[in-house]
Amino acid sequence: MSSKIKCEDLTFSLYPGAREMKMYESHYRDGKWDEGAIVPFHNISLSPAANILNYGQGIFEGLKALRSEKGHIVLFRPEENARRFVRSAEKLAIPALTEEKFLAAVKDVVLENEEFVPESNNGRCSMYLRPVCIGTEPLLGVRASQEYLFFIFASPVGPYFDKVGVVKLIAKEVNRATPNGTGDAKAVCNYPVTMRPKQEAKKAGFDDVIYLDPCENKYIEEAGAANFFALLKDGTLVTPPLGSILPGITRDSVIRLAREFYGMKVEERPLSVEEVVQNAVECFVTGTAAIITSVSDIGWRDKVYNVNQNGFQLAHKLYDKLMGIQLQRDEDPYGWITVLK
């Protein structure tokens, strides 16, 4: 089935015609999940005392369905999103969600909305899938909900950043997650703290914020919805270590491509803003939404540093390889692609 969506009209926002689309929902009650079903996209009714509205017990995921150059509809490493969703659920005491349930529901949502998967236009456009699970039980005391709603909706999307390909970031002494907290889960509670810094960054002419480590306010953690990489003068590619950051699936893919495909030295280690502004010749961020987006400048303590004297070469090379695999233009050496149709 061909697409009824034009790529050039899309931005990274909820499709205005979402009500024409289908979504999935499944309920957890009396100690078990029901089978779940595909239903029309609709609003959700919740008690004002629902756990998610008061105590924020909720998790989500983000992945894309793409129209490949071989004419298939494909997913990129969806089993990794399933694994992360289940890990996030366990961290937030959400019971008994399985990878199988997640994957089956994701596939159903894509196939039910096939005509909304846009032409990809070299990766610019796709159908974004948003699986969410929230505690719905009405309660007053702080405790885990005993009722949950797991749903998945979809939206055709264009690029995440307004300026495709290159952004300016500002490093702020703001922490989005703590070492023993929820930073490594895709939990809704990690995101509200980023709203105000992002507003301030936009006002100051930047596109997004780089968040710093909560102990010393010195080491880069990640951007609002993407992981950070710096290519140093000596040719080493460095990215902050896992721990309190989201273990990005694009991050993992880029590390493997850089190491195994391009034979680069890649280090996962603490990376200070100071080291980056003094020593980086190229920086970029990675994520399902951001894909691989180059960073031209970083604002840090009243100065703005150009961090891309390399002409974006590495980001472009990695982007082309990643996209080549995702769009089935290139061979898929790691078995990352799931063909749905």
Among 26, 51, 227, 328, binds ligand PLP (CB under 6 A): 227
Nearest Cα to 127, choosing from 71, 80, 63? 63
248 binds ligand PLP (CB under 6 A): yes
d(CA 81, CA 284): 22
Comparison of 249 and 298: residue with beta carbon closer to ligand PLP: 249
293 binds ligand PLP (CB under 6 A): no
| H runs (alpha helix) in 261-308 | 273-279
Name the DSSP letter for residue 240. Answer: P
Report in angstroms how near the CB of residue 150 gets to ligand PLP at its nearest: 18
- Among positions 107-166, residues that touch ligand PLP (CB under 6 A) are none
On whether the CB atoms of residues 185 and 83 are closer than 8 A, the answer is no
Q: Which stretch binds ligand PLP (CB under 6 A): 14-22, 44-52, 125-133, 282-290?
A: 282-290
Q: Is 168 a catalytic residue?
A: no
On whether the CB atoms of residues 25 and 101 are closer than 8 A, the answer is no
| Residue 236: Cβ-neighbour burial (10 angstroms; 0-12, 13-18, 19+) | middle
Among 52, 134, 169, 246, binds ligand PLP (CB under 6 A): 246
Comparison of 57 and 182: residue with beta carbon closer to ligand PLP: 182
182 binds ligand PLP (CB under 6 A): no
**Per the residue annotation, which of 107, 186, 198, 321 is the catalytic one?**
186
Report in angstroms how near the CB of residue 60 gets to ligand PLP at its nearest: 9
Nearest Cα to 235, choosing from 314, 140, 118? 314
The first and second tokens of residue 296, run together, are 């031209």
5 binds ligand PLP (CB under 6 A): no
Catalytic residue ranges: 186
